[in-house]
Amino acid sequence: MMRPELTMSVYLCREPVDMRKSIDGLSLLVQEAMELNPFDEAVFVFCNRQRDKVKILAWERNGFVLWYKRLERERFKWPDTVGDDVMTLSGQQLNWLLDGYDIARMQPHKSLFFDAAG
């Protein structure tokens, strides 16, 4: 499984994002809305309004990497949008969030098992 390094800085965009955005649109969001440098050694995390999809953007030496996760059931436990639009997480907190934990309560989603896609 591919996951961002635990040592990288993690910036979470707390506002919902249109998941049709790809690398160019997300990197502009990082630069303009989040007021951060998309070329920094960091990962930038975005979620849709329904909280069932996440995209992670990172610059890796000579190009961008875009990571995408879609939940089949449940929703990501996204931190409240009260306060700043950008939240800093540790790499471990990001992994917990991706695993379905409510990082405020530390409760995970149920594990799902399927035999076939579709």
Distances (CA, A) of 19 to 32, 55, 56, 107, 116: 17, 8, 11, 26, 25
Strands of 42-47's sheet, edge to edge? 63-70, 53-60, 42-47, 9-13, 86-89
pLDDT tens, residue by residue, 4-44: 777 789 999 988 999 999 999 999 999 999 999 999 999 99
pLDDT tens readout for residues 70-88: 999 889 888 775 566 788 8
- Look at residues 75, 66, 73 and name the one whose alpha carbon lies nearest to residue 98: 75
